[in-house]
Structure 1
Amino acid sequence: MSTVNSTSAPQASATAARPGYGQLLRTPGALSFVLPGFAARQPFAMLTMSIVLLVQHTTGSLGSAGAVSAVAGISMALCAPQTGKLADRYGQRAVLIPGVVVHAVSVILLAGLALADLPLWALFLAAVPVGASVPQVGPMVRARWVSVLDRPGRSPLLPTAAAFESVTDEFTFVVGPVLATALCTWVHPGAGLAAEAVLILAGGLLFAAQRGTQPKAHGLADEHARVEHVSALSIPGVRVLAVAFLGIGAVFGGMQVALTAFAEEIGQAGVNGLLYGIFAAGNMLAGITFGAIAWKVGPQRRLILGYTGLAIAASTLWMLHSVALFAIVGVVVGVCIAPAMISGFTLVGSLVPASARTEAFTWLTGAIALGQAGAVTIAGRLADERSASAGFLVPLVATALALATLVALRSRLHPTSRGRTVARGVGHRIPVAVD
């Protein structure tokens, strides 16, 4: 009994005195991948909005624009986990360099075909490699944080790192849609995609050049290590998180398209980018606050509480009819997304062995992309055939279904192994904390 007390006391004090963002960024080698990683992930936030605005301009249909964007999103959702698996096995650099080149070329091709007024089926075909080649920089950065921090004496920084990454993601979603809208509206309909291609190429290559912080490539381990490659999706908790993140993606996609339709209905083109930026700003500010708090509640419970708030807030969007109300409720929705996303990404560290973490992170980001793709398609059709308000029903239904799944299967979010190595022979022990 005395042993338990002696070990739990330091853990409690460590939790109560969780280090902040300043100490996180002072971690040796952190800035070497954080800064180029930020530049490399910025274009991802521009992609959906840039495709929607360009294709809507050339076809005159928001539904068609949403469908092309959805093809890219589905392609990304299907291919992202495979990209993550390859990165775990052969190293991030080996996957990222060819990926950013292919993506840049594919994006320029899609823009050229759209501006040439080719049939919709040609745009669908071109959207496939655009989505399939989206560089998974966010999951790669998260995997680097876990690799750097998941060592004795540094684990208290892991929740802070998860929060910091959520804040970084949301900052890109503050800037990205606004930048894409400004470029497509005031410069040229294809300018958003052109800027996305240039940024992803430059940022991705710079990030790939940071080899010192790259996680170990487990496919290159010698035979004495006997690395057991575990598929991230074989872990029940990852599957539950993927379903939850489908709903988050539906909020992103549904709001982008429905806000675009709303801006057209009120005759204020461009206000959609501003409103979406306000929504993302609420998410970012909540993420900053969330990561700075030493929580006594475990990530499983925080995930459910955050998702409950998200579902309630999303259920009100369809009733709104003014810019001011959308700005207010958009902030609330953004505030509720942050706890759900941060808690979900934090859980990956305890659920998944080191040899499959990048893959696990890409399953979650892929789920967001898939939810976004489905929402963009359905919300676009509803907005075309009915109204912008009908498009906002998509986040309502998606978050409600995801929350129901999350609550029903919440027991699977707890690690099955307590205090032992999660994957035999990995050579990297993951101490499992019981919340």
Structure 2
Amino acid sequence: MASAVTTTRPGTTTRRPEKRPGYGQLLRTPGAWAFVLPGFAARQPFAMLTISIVLLVEHTTGSYGIAGAVAAVTGLSMALCAPQSGRLADHFGQRAVLLPGIAIHAASGGLLTALALADAPLWALFAAAVPTGASVPQIGPMVRARWAAALGSPVGELGAGSPLMSTAAAFESVTDELTFVIGPVLATALCTGAHPAAGLVAESGLTLAGGLLFAAQRGSAPPAHRRAARVDAPRASALSVPGVRVLAVAFLGIGSVFGGMQVSLTAFTQEIGQPGMNGLLYGIFAAGNMLAGVACGAIAWRTSARQRLITGYAALALACSALWAVQSPLLLGALGLLVGLCVAPALITGYTLVEAVVPPTARTEAFTWLTGSVALGQAAAVTVAGQLTDMSGAGAGFIVPLAGTALALVTVVALRGRLVARPPSRLPVARGIGHRVPVAVD
């Protein structure tokens, strides 16, 4: 989109800042709806998994600590396997990875449900949780990769290429958070209103149906890069980019918010004798995230993405600082809304930054590193928050989001020099563990 030019005096001109492309323009991208709608349906189960496991296992064992540990094994498995899934999708194509993955996930989720209802020993629950988490379909990163392919976003300079990429990042954050509005509320309603296992059963079924629907959309999938890998091998991993490593660590803090909020809100509503409010309170938190995502996508930012990331994490840590002391459901809902409003800017800016520094051959992998980091942070958070809740009540569990976001803020501030875009010629070349890395360019 060209910038408008205004004449100020003879021989001189000034450029007005170009207007930020809106969501309407983004959704008019040819072929966009072919993957947007199926992608939205396919990612719904992702937001249901952790809370469904926590509610089912807590019901059968009576312990939030055990429930959090089982959910953590699922999250850890996803965090470890998601980047490998992304790399395979880049190399072989998304459909080749999706089809076996959704079948394994549906089967292992059903097994985990059966074992929990049968009061199986903890080791058996862990054994079923591993493939359940490892096979979670990485729909969000795959959709982001499809946006990048549809918009023809080149590699190298932050802000170069299609100006719609930052709008697409905001749109995907809004879509993710709408998922986290619907998913936990649906899972909680099923578990508390129908049967404790209903949430996990629905999650497995929706994964199978939604995953098949998304995999059927072949036309919008980015091409596999097997030929490029043969010609230019060895190809650098997305994690070889210093900025991706910083963002992966920072996104652990976002995961700590999701995991800590899920466990602690569940325990809080149990303590006050209103377990049905859990989905509502978590939905308010996610709604704040969604609203902030909508706003971020509509703003033409004048500050750098790096500065926005630091500001976003500072605001998030500050918002989380009072959660542990709240005793009123109304006040907790209001504070949860504020926390949610602070999550989206950090997420959107992180995804925008990583898209700018990673080549197309590793883009899905890069996005899955961030998704995996969120899952790993969530896994650690549900474990620690579950233990703290068992020992000291729901208030203690809310300390986890504060600690996680504070550590993420320190990381982003200390390593902010690595959060810069690099031109194509300076992307790292894979040479094993000791490959060369570029010098940061401001």
TM-score by length of 2: 0.91
Within 2, Cα distance between the matches of 1:306 and 1:205? 36
Change (3 A) 1:226 1:419: closer
Change (3 A) 1:213 1:26: same
Structure 2 residue 88 is the aligned partner of structure 1 residue 83: no
Q: Secondary structure at the match of 1:269?
A: coil
> Are the aligned partners of 1:228 and 1:423 in contact in 2 as well (CA < 8 Å)?
no
> Are the aligned partners of 1:150 and 1:158 in contact in 2 as well (CA < 8 Å)?
no
Hey, what does 1:431 align to over in structure 2?
Answer: none
Task: Please point out which of 116, 124, 138 is paired with 2:140.
Answer: 138
Structure 1 residue 230, shift from structure 2 partner: 1.4
Change (3 A) 1:251 1:424: closer
> Are the aligned partners of 2:246 and 2:418 in contact in 1 as well (CA < 8 Å)?
yes
Hey, what does 1:202 align to over in structure 2?
Answer: 209
User: What is the correspondence of 1:183-198 to structure 2 with a 5 Å cutoff?
Assistant: 183-198=190-205
Structure 1 residue 270, shift from structure 2 partner: 1.6
User: What is the correspondence of 1:413-428 to structure 2 with a 5 Å cutoff?
Assistant: 413-415=419-421, 417-418=422-423, 420=425, 422=427
Letter in 2 for 1:254: G
Structure 1 residue 68, shift from structure 2 partner: 0.4
Hey, what does 1:260 align to over in structure 2?
Answer: 266
Within 1, Cα distance between the matches of 2:72 and 2:153? 40
Structure 2, unaligned stretches of length 5 or more?
A: 6-11, 155-159, 431-440
For residues 108-165 of structure 1, the C-alpha deviation after alignment (integer angstroms, 9 at most, x for no partner) is 1100110111111110111000000000000000011111113489611000000000
Hey, what does 2:44 align to over in structure 1?
Answer: 42
For residues 325-359 of structure 1, the C-alpha deviation after alignment (integer angstroms, 9 at most, x for no partner) is 11111111001001000000000121111111111
Task: Please point out which of 371, 375, 395 is paired with 2:377.
Answer: 371
* Count of aligned pairs between the two proteins: 417
Task: Please point out which of 256, 264, 283 is paired with 1:277.
Answer: 283
Letter in 1 for 2:90: D
Identity of aligned residues (%): 67
User: What is the correspondence of 1:281-360 to structure 2 with a 5 Å cutoff?
Assistant: 281-360=287-366
Letter in 1 for 2:123: W
Task: Please point out which of 154, 164, 175 is paired with 1:157.
Answer: 164
For residues 199-243 of structure 1, the C-alpha deviation after alignment (integer angstroms, 9 at most, x for no partner) is 1111111111111111121124485x5365210111110110011
Within 1, Cα distance between the matches of 2:184 and 2:359? 35
Structure 1 stretch displaced more, 353-362 or 150-159: 150-159
> Are the aligned partners of 2:244 and 2:366 in contact in 1 as well (CA < 8 Å)?
yes
Letter in 2 for 1:339: P
User: Cα RMSD (Å) of the superposition?
Assistant: 2.1
Q: Secondary structure at the match of 1:16?
A: coil
Q: Secondary structure at the match of 2:232?
A: coil
**Shift >2 Å, 4+ stretches:** 9-13, 150-154, 220-223, 225-228, 417-425
Within 2, Cα distance between the matches of 1:318 and 1:65? 21
For residues 345-393 of structure 1, the C-alpha deviation after alignment (integer angstroms, 9 at most, x for no partner) is 0001211111111111000000000000000000001001111110001
Within 2, Cα distance between the matches of 1:37 and 1:119? 36
Task: Please point out which of 96, 99, 106 is paired with 1:94.
Answer: 96
Structure 1 residue 301, shift from structure 2 partner: 1.0
> Are the aligned partners of 2:110 and 2:204 in contact in 1 as well (CA < 8 Å)?
yes
